[in-house]
């Protein structure tokens, strides 16, 4: 009887540890830029914070034929983009996917991304498992969620309040 009780307690402890590990990852501020009418590509951006080391290994969304991790770099004055197989997430550090850097490329859009709309995005992590986030579509040229192009300052327009 005591061995059975010990095994039961051990299983509960292991389950609690696994649960705590998968809960220690947070995805915040998921957004995308609006796309022109017939554009077949778009991009999504977000911030990931993980208490322990992990890897983002796959992304998918129903709004595009495929979603891929991409990285943009400048080499000799030329901007280059390449697909990434996975993205390392260091423990305790925020990893920001943003325009002009690492981002999620949406290939084969099924319809334009329109300002104010949103869509689901699935993220697959090596340790934390699958996470679903809601991506909000911002204006074309936005530099972050709720920000306009050019720094995000909201300037009053003459005759408007």
pLDDT above 80: residue 147: no
Please report, for the chain, the start and end positions of each structural domain, with discontinuous segments joined by +: 26-138
pLDDT, one tens digit per residue, over 97-143 is 999 999 999 999 999 999 999 999 999 999 999 999 999 999 998 88
pLDDT at 67: 97
Whether 4 has a pLDDT exceeding 80, the answer reads no
Report pLDDT for 79. 85
User: In the 8-state DSSP scheme, what is residue 17?
Assistant: H
Asked if 46 and 97 touch (Cβ cutoff 8 Å), the reply is yes
Q: Which helix (H) or strand (E) segment is 23 a member of?
A: helix 2-23
Minimum mean pLDDT among 19-23, 80-84, 156-160: which range?
156-160
Q: What is the pLDDT of residues 71-88, one digit of tens each?
A: 988 888 888 899 999 999
Q: What is the pTM of this model?
A: 0.76
pLDDT value at residue 23: 54
What does the mean pLDDT of the chain come to? Answer: 83
124 CB burial (10 A radius; 0-12, 13-18, 19+): middle
Q: Is CATH 2.60.40.1890 the right assignment for the domain spanning 26-138?
A: yes
Predicted confidence at residue 124, as pLDDT, reads 98
What does the pLDDT read at residue 16?
41
Nearest-angstrom CA–CA distance, 137 and 115: 5
Structure tokens at 56: 């983002």
């Amino acid at each position: 009887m005591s061995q059975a009780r010990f095994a039961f307690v051990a299983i509960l402890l292991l389950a609690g540890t696994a649960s705590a590990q998968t809960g220690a990852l947070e995805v915040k501020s998921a957004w995308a830029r609006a796309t022109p009418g017939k554009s077949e590509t778009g991009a999504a951006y977000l911030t990931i914070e993980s208490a322990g080391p992990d890897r983002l290994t796959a992304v998918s969304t129903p709004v595009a034929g495929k979603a891929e991790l991409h990285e943009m770099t400048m080499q000799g004055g030329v901007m280059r983009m390449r697909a990434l197989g996975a993205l390392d997430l260091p423990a305790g550090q925020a990893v920001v996917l943003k325009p002009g850097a690492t981002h999620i490329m949406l290939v084969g859009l099924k319809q334009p991304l329109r300002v104010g709309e949103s869509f689901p995005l699935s993220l697959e992590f090596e340790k934390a498992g699958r996470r679903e986030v809601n991506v909000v579509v911002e204006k074309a040229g936005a530099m972050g969620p709720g920000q306009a192009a050019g720094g995000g300052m909201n300037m009053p327009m003459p005759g408007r309040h």
